[in-house]
Amino acid sequence: MGGNRDIGHHNKRLGKDMSTPSKLVIRNIGLLLSGDLSAPILDADCVVAVDGRIAAVGREADLDSENAATVIDAKGTTLAPGLIDSHVHPVIGDYTPRQQQIGWIDSCLHGGVTTMISAGEVHLPGRPKDLVGLKALAIASQRWYENFRPSGVKVHAGAPVIEEGMEEEDFKDLAAAGVTLLGEVGLGSVKAGETAQRMVAWARKYGIQSTIHTGGPSIPGSGLIDKDVVLEADADIIGHINGGHTALPDDQIVCLCEQCQRGVELVHNGNERSALLAMRTARELGQSERVILGTDSPAGSGVQPLGILRMIAMLSSLGDTPAEVAFCFATGNTARLRDLDCGLIEVGRAADFVIIDRAQHAPGKTILESIEQGNLPGVGMTVIDGVVRSQRSRNTPPATTLPEIVG
Ligand SMILES: [Zn+2]
């Protein structure tokens, strides 16, 4: 509950008066991770945000840091874009019926996640599968997460699971009603590549982004989607290419990386060995920008509040990937592939940050070294739209040094 009181405190301080811009200054940043593969570490120690947007990034001496409503002293710790979970299955509010769990999104915020993308509200008990019902659910889900952000986390939801019998008009209606995502193709009755391709193309025509379930059945009732179906359907994101849970054979995973240009999504709720294979293949192809991370939670394996951090540490340590690059998989890459306004430390982007440090007593001389040795960092603070949303994480190992709100 401490975190909630902090939020109220800051809202009051930032005020609702739109005539005075609310300014946030984060100074004394020891390491600034950009989320951008082309320059994952920035030569800067200060970020200024105005009205929830990044207004300046650089050396504090060169920036206008006066008259800030909130000043955070990062105390030499690391700032990164807030993490993006590319694959979640929310239902309503901060409750998941899948594991009868309350507060799972707040728990993920404490793992550094500030944005989530729904791959379908599939865990709703009694989920409607008729066309009117599934469209109504998608529109309602989009609205209730737009109107209510659990602990401030941005949940992009309202992702219908497509069913046989849908026509172009249905996708047009969904788009007009504000739906921007499809749930995982393959979780409904559409399992043939040809039908999936037709519907994915209709969705794309109306600006709706698509993800396809890849691999074996996840739970009773879902089915196998192999590489031929994935390639034919041509969804924007190859959802959990490492399976959720069951992965495709290695040769099919390599083939998916080589034979199309779509997003390569690696999830915590999948096969870790296959995730490493897909990441290595994408990197060898010189296409690291396709790699994005998700948890696929809530699921049969539960909720993983530290799932994105765990994926970063796993891929970095076992996959010989610099930690700053692994962070890009969970931030800038996802933002670009999914057309989000966050995920990069760049002027004009949403001021969504996570401040982290090497965990107490973690081996490695720096935070990056400790992650490259497979250890999780400690989360010290999260910021969403320029507002502090959580301070010392209740879920990560404790950070060696914590940032402090000093003004
Ligand atoms: Zn799936």
Write the CATH number for 212: 3.20.20.140
Q: How many domains does the chain have?
A: 2
**Domain hosting residue 61, numbered range:** 2-81+344-405
CA of 303 to the centre of ligand 1 (A): 15
**pLDDT tens, position by position, 16-50:** 445 567 999 999 999 999 999 999 999 999 999 99
Nearest to 379 by CA among 74, 153, 23: 74
Q: How far is the CA of 214 from the centre of ligand 1 (A)?
A: 7
Q: What is the mean pLDDT of the chain?
A: 94
Residue 249 lies in a domain: yes
Of the candidate ranges 11-20, 115-124, 190-199, 206-215, the one whose mean pLDDT is the lowest = 11-20
pLDDT above 70 (res 356): yes
Residue 52 domain-assigned?
Answer: yes
Residues 6+ apart with CB under 8 A from 60: 27, 28, 45, 46
Distance (angstroms) between ligand 1 centre and the Cα of 61 equals 48
Q: Looking at the structure, tell me whether residues 301 and 225 fall in a common domain.
A: yes
Cα separation, 357 vs 348, in Å, equals 26
For the residues 143-158, what does the mean pLDDT come to? 98
213 C-alpha vs ligand 1 centroid, how far in Å?
4
- Cα 278 to ligand 1 centre (Å): 17
The answer to whether residue 11 scores a pLDDT higher than 90 is: no
Q: Residues 202, 142: one domain?
A: yes
Q: Are 131 and 163 in contact (CB under 8 A)?
A: yes
Whether the Cβ atoms of residue 47 and residue 31 lie closer than 8 Å to each other: no
77: which residues sit within 8 A by CB, 6+ positions away?
29, 30, 31, 355, 356, 357, 367, 380, 399, 401, 402, 403
The region of weakest confidence among 8-17, 302-311, 312-321 is 8-17
Q: Check residue 10 and give its pLDDT.
A: 43
- Work out the average pLDDT over 294-298: 97
Q: Is the dihedral of CA 39, 286, 342, 89 positive or negative?
A: negative
End-to-end CA distance of the chain: 22
Question: What percentage of residues in the chain have a pLDDT greater than 70?
Answer: 95
Residue 56 Cα to ligand 1 midpoint, Å, equals 39
Which residues neighbour 155 within 8 Å (Cβ) at sequence distance 6 or greater? 88, 90, 105, 115, 116, 118, 145, 149
Say how many Å lie between the CA of residue 239 and the centre of ligand 1.
Answer: 7
User: Residue 127 falls within a domain, yes or no?
Assistant: yes
- Identify the CATH number of the domain in which residue 397 sits: 2.30.40.10
Same domain (yes/no): 17, 58: yes
User: Ligand 1: distance of its center to the CA of 14 in Å?
Assistant: 40
Q: Tokens representing 262? A: 């779509």
Q: Is residue 338 part of a domain?
A: no
Give the distance (Å) from ligand 1 centre to CA of residue 143. Answer: 23
Q: How far is the CA of 265 from the centre of ligand 1 (A)?
A: 11
Q: What angle do CA 92, 126, 299 make, to 5 degrees?
A: 60
CA of 226 to the centre of ligand 1 (A): 12
Between the CA of 199 and the centroid of ligand 1 the distance, in Å, is 18
How far away, in angstroms, is 240 Cα from ligand 1 center? 7
Give the mean pLDDT of 388-394: 98
Residues 44, 112, single domain; the answer is no
Task: Find the 218 Cα to ligand 1 centroid distance in Å.
Answer: 6
One domain, residues 157 and 271 = yes
User: Distance, CA 155 to ligand 1 centroid (Å)?
Assistant: 18
12 and 49 fall within a common domain = yes
18 lies in some domain:
yes
- Of 1-5, 334-338, 354-358, the poorest mean pLDDT is in 1-5
Average pLDDT over residues 225-236: 96
Q: What is the mean pLDDT of residues 3-19?
A: 43
353 with 272, same domain: the answer is: no
Give the tens place of pLDDT for each residue, 88-105: 999 999 999 999 999 999
For ligand 1, an ion, list residues with CB under 5 A: 184, 213, 218, 244
The arithmetic mean of pLDDT across residues 183-201, rounded, is 94
Q: Which pLDDT score is estimated for 2?
A: 38
Taking the centre of ligand 1 as the mean of its atom positions, its distance from the CA of residue 146, in whole angstroms, is: 23
73 and 94 assigned to the same domain? no
CA of 233 to the centre of ligand 1 (A): 15
Q: How confident is the model at residue 221 (pLDDT cuts 50, 70, 90)?
A: confident
**Residue 383 CA, ligand 1 centroid: distance in Å:** 30
Distance 314 CA to ligand 1 centre (A): 21
- Residue 63 Cα to ligand 1 middle (Å): 45
> How many A from CA of 257 to the centre of ligand 1?
18
* Distance of CA 92 from the midpoint of ligand 1 (Å): 19
Query: How far is Cα 266 from Cα 278, in angstroms, rounded to an integer?
Result: 8
Task: Let me know if residue 227 belongs to a domain.
Answer: yes
Instruction: Indicate whether 52 and 95 sit together in one domain.
Output: no
Whole-angstrom distance, CA of residue 399 vs CA of residue 73:
15
Q: Residue 318 falls within a domain, yes or no?
A: no
In this prediction the pTM is: 0.94
Task: Answer yes or no: do 253 and 146 share one domain.
Answer: yes
* Å from CA of 306 to ligand 1 middle: 19
243 C-alpha to center of ligand 1: Å? 7
Answer whether residue 312 is part of any domain.
no
Distance from the alpha carbon of residue 365 to the mean position of ligand 1, in angstroms: 38
